[in-house]
């Protein structure tokens, strides 16, 4: 038995609205961006592993990149 059927019905209707994206459809966004203004595609690009590797390479200095490219041993061994 349900103590308050009216409150139960209200909660059920609320859950149905959440499940069916009622407010997303009622109030569509003009632009598909986040709070910071970054689009979904930009977020996916930033989070991609290839882009992260490229950004790590960009952070390295030119001489370090050249040394890693032409040296036979790993850069961790150079610092020891």
The whole-number pLDDT of residue 73 equals: 60
DSSP string for residues in 11-29: HHHHHHHHHTTHHHHHS--
Whole-model pTM: value is 0.39
Q: Could you say which residues of the chain have pLDDT below 50?
A: none
The whole-number pLDDT of residue 8 equals: 92
């Amino acid at each position: 038995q349900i103590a308050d059927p009216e409150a139960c019905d209200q909660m059920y209707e609320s859950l149905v609205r959440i499940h069916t994206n009622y407010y997303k459809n009622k109030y569509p966004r003009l632009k598909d961006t986040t709070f910071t203004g970054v689009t979904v595609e930009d977020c996916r690009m930033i989070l991609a592993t290839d882009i992260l590797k490229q950004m790590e390479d960009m952070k390295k200095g030119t001489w370090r990149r050249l040394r890693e490219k032409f040296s036979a041993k790993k850069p961790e061994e150079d610092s020891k």
